[in-house]
Amino acid sequence: MAKQTDKCSFCGRNRNETGTLIMGINGNICNECVEQATAILQEEGKISHKSNAKLKLPKPTEIKHFLDQYVIGQEESKRVLSVAVYNHYKRIDQKKQSEEDDVEIEKSNIVIVGETGTGKTLMARTIARMLKVPFAIADATILTEAGYVGEDVESILSRLLMAAGYDVHAAERGIVFIDEIDKIARKSDNPSITRDVSGEGVQQALLKLLEGSIVNVPPQGGRKHPEQKYVQVNTQNILFIAGGAFDGIDKIIASRMRTNVVGYNISKDSETIDKSNLLQYIAPPDLKKFGLIPEIVGRMPVVSFLNPLDAEALRRILTEPKNALTKQFIRLFHIDGIELTFTDEALTFIVEKAIEFKLGARGLRSIMEAILTDAMFELPEKKNVKKLEITREYSEQRLQRKNFTHMRVA
């Protein structure tokens, strides 16, 4: 028997060139070769270490408390979302028990309706961060029927698979946020000469993902790499959260609730309707009338809404969350050794402009970037500047230079 050497039998590196050398009977293997072998097996789906650990499921109140740290307001939507997510993952954990009792708990996907910049994507991303599950965002506007220019619905799962590090078992417990779901609504019930390849056909293709089935997923995207092997993903335990502005759905809600009724037969209920925020009365039939097919509406039974952001909410968004905009810019300046502060009048001015532009919370960042761009360009090389206070006058001057103050939104 040959004498065993202190080197890796796979890569040939000596013991002092590796972190750990595992000694065997007729050979050795180093830690780097073990890691490479594990990665190969994971890619082929032979093993899955990432999803072996049982998910620690927090209670609905704990989920909402975590959301409160990042999302301002939207109390009703946070409660609905917390309960839906808790029930979904509780259903996964109790699946074996349910099979023994012959009681199968069905999946409850979620639809969030709200204006742009109210926090739809933020809420879904925050929950995924808390649960430490793979999370992917898909834009429904780029989806088309198979055979047409665009992306197939399977590309949604490709992004989830990528977020899970190509760990199929982890991806099968992940969360997918489908943005702009309202953009694939049926345009009308009337037949047309041109085919609507990004409307009802996409909704039909989405059904197999939402209801729970085994889908052949191209890991690198479908049409660009036709030679690749497909990966089978079971969507039964994937939680789908869809969001959209649903522009014009308030008229459908108003029609259903008869808010424009005139005469002696007006009920007391119609008098108590808050006409300034009709989204709070959203119901599944409204989504169907807007253009979502009944099958999609039935497979997304949890419907929630987000309130429009008023001046008070926008002001709180600027300062209160853990990742508030002011905290982000204060950290950026702190890295350069500069103490950044904001006066109350400056924050009020930023909120006023955000309301004027009607961009929701997204508008806040655009305004902050415009105000601070000059300072972020000039101050890093000025070693004698240690403090910067942002006042209303400073903000007005910077926005005027960027021509922001002359913008008007109809």
Neighbouring CB atoms inside 10 A of 89's CB total 19
Give the contacts of 206 (CB within 8 A, at least 6 positions apart).
153, 178, 296
- Does residue 50 contact residue 165 with C-beta atoms inside 8 Å? yes
Q: What is the DSSP-derived secondary structure letter of residue 33?
A: H
Q: DSSP per residue over 308-371, as a string? A: PP-HHHHHHHHHSSTT-HHHHHHHHHHHTT-EEEE-HHHHHHHHHHHHHHT-HHHHHHHHHHHH
In 77-223, DSSP assigns E strands to: 110-113, 135-139, 175-179, 214-217
pLDDT of residue 271: 58
List C-alpha distances in Å: 314 to 154, 261, 347, 397: 37, 34, 10, 22
Nearest partner of 288 among 134, 135, 153, 185, judged by Cα: 185
> Is the pLDDT assigned to residue 238 strictly greater than 50?
yes
**pLDDT at position 216:** 86
3-state secondary structure of 266: coil
Q: In what order do the strands lie in the sheet with 175-179?
A: 135-139, 175-179, 239-244, 110-113, 302-305
β partners of residue 214:
234
Q: Which helix (H) or strand (E) holds 22?
A: strand 21-23
Whole-number average pLDDT of the chain: 83
Name the most confidently modeled range: 89-98, 192-201, 222-231, 345-354: 345-354
pLDDT of residue 80: 92
Give pLDDT, residue 40. 75
pLDDT of 60 > 90? The answer is: yes
Q: Are 307 and 280 in contact (CB under 8 A)?
A: yes
Beta partners for residue 231, in sequence order: 217
Mean pLDDT of 163-172: 89
Label the pairing between strands 21-23 and 28-30. Answer: antiparallel
pLDDT at 19 over 70: yes
Cite the beta strand spans of 141-204 per DSSP E: 175-179
For residues 187 and 367, the model is more confident at 367
Q: What is the pLDDT of residues 258-292, one digit of tens each?
A: 765 444 555 555 557 778 788 889 999 999 999 99
Range of 25-29, 111-115, 361-365 with top mean pLDDT: 111-115
Give the whole-angstrom CA distance, residue 330 versus residue 337: 10
Q: What is the pLDDT of residues 367-400, one digit of tens each?
A: 999 999 999 999 988 888 899 999 999 999 998 8
What's the mean pLDDT in 177-202?
Answer: 73
Measured at the CA of 129, the angle between CA 123 and CA 133, to 5 degrees, comes to 115
Q: What is the mean pLDDT of residues 295-324?
A: 91
3-class secondary-structure state, position 117: coil
Residues 6+ away with beta carbon under 8 Å from 313: 72, 73, 307
The confidence band for 31, taking pLDDT boundaries of 50, 70 and 90, is confident
Contact 304, 77 (CB under 8 A): yes
pLDDT at 279: 86
Instruction: Compute the distance between CA of residue 268 and CA of residue 251 in angstroms, rounded to an integer.
Output: 21
Domains along the sequence of the chain with CATH: 1-47 (no CATH), 60-305 (3.40.50.300), 311-401 (1.10.8.60)
pTM: 0.76
DSSP letter at 406 equals T
**Rounded Cα gap, residues 285 and 292, in angstroms:** 10
Q: Which of 184, 358, 206 lies closest to 295, judged by CA?
A: 206
Give CA torsion, residues 209, 215, 221, 223, to 10 deg: -100
Measured CA to CA in angstroms, residue 333 lies from 144, 222, 338, 349, 375 at distances of: 44, 43, 5, 21, 9
